[in-house]
């Protein structure tokens, strides 16, 4: 047996199966402001929630709730077609 194999020890069971383990919910809100016929700026916020309850190979389980926040800002250039008309006031 090599010294490398001795350091690793016995093989560990791994969980690579697909399984239904919970529910995921997402919410998204965003705004966009046009400041010219082809340019705009935008901002988005997305909240994601997932609850997980999975069985592991070799016994045991995994239970966790995951909350993720995403914030995006950017500048957009609108190619082709007619420019965005001005909003009526």
Which tens digits make up the pLDDT trace of 68-78? 999 999 999 98
Residue in this structure with the two tokens 């966790």, named with its chain if needed: 64
Going through the chain in order, the beta strands assigned E by DSSP cover 24-34, 39-55, 61-77
Q: Specify the pLDDT at position 1.
A: 47
Give the Cβ contact number of residue 82 at 10 Å. Answer: 7
Is the pLDDT confidence value at 2 over 90?
no
Statement: the pTM of the whole predicted model exceeds 0.85: no
Q: From 45, 48, 51, select the one nearest 72 (Cα to Cα).
A: 45
Segment 35-75, tens digit of pLDDT: 888 899 999 999 999 998 888 877 888 899 999 999 999 99
């Amino acid at each position: 047996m090599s010294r490398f194999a001795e350091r690793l020890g016995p093989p560990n069971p791994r969980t690579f199966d697909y399984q239904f383990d919970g529910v995921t919910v997402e919410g998204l809100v965003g705004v966009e402001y046009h400041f010219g016929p082809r340019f705009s700026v935008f901002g988005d916020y997305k909240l994601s929630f997932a609850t997980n309850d999975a069985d592991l190979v070799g016994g045991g389980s995994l239970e966790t709730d995951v909350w993720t926040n995403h914030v995006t800002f950017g500048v957009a250039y609108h190619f082709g077609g007619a420019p965005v008309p001005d909003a009526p006031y």
